[in-house]
Amino acid sequence: MSKAQKALFLDRDGVINIDYGYVYEIEKFEFTEGIFELLKLFIHQDYQLFIVTNQSGIGRGYYGEDDFQSLTSWMIKEFQQRGIDRVSVEHCPHQPDALCSCRKPRTGMVEKITSKYAIDLTNSWLIGDKQSDIDLANNAGIAHTIAVGDTLINEATYSFKTIQEVQLFLEENKAIIAS
């Protein structure tokens, strides 16, 4: 059996990209400042990267699964062009009131990932901008969390206003993610 990997779980809208609300078009997708450098920090510490994103716009009929997949393919190529090649994406297409197991803070997306990959959740991190992201980490047993943005989020290991602040902090404190 292979050794369990450390993983970084990330929300998409508000973490990877600026959240303009129901982002599904490439033209409206804007990466957050510092995200590429942040992801490279984790890759250099041998983390596998997973984006776990609620996409209720699909369930609400605002855009289709094909729109989401097209944007995701484009996003992955943008990462690869910058040397970030260990990114996988899981998403929940359901509306908030759906009785699914995948919508954050439920753990279905993390369970799907851990059924495919040997992940050491006790040495893993999650970065999110909503309480449901941090709650997902707590519910799934992801040990370390970083909350990003202006909203007060309870129980996060660290909180920062921007991704760039996270990146700069971890650049200066690499030992935090090197284990």
Q: Report, as residue numbers or ranges, the catalytic residues.
A: 11, 13
* Residue whose C-alpha is closest to residue 35's, from 49, 55, 52: 49
Count CB atoms within 10 A of the CB of residue 14: 22
Task: Transcribe 110-168 into DSSP letters.
Answer: HHHHHHHS-B-GGG-EEEESSHHHHHHHHHHT--EEEEESSS--TT-SEEESSHHHHHH
Residue 100: CB partners within 8 Å, gap ≥ 6? 92, 94, 106, 108
Helix (H) or strand (E) segment spanning residue 109: helix 108-116
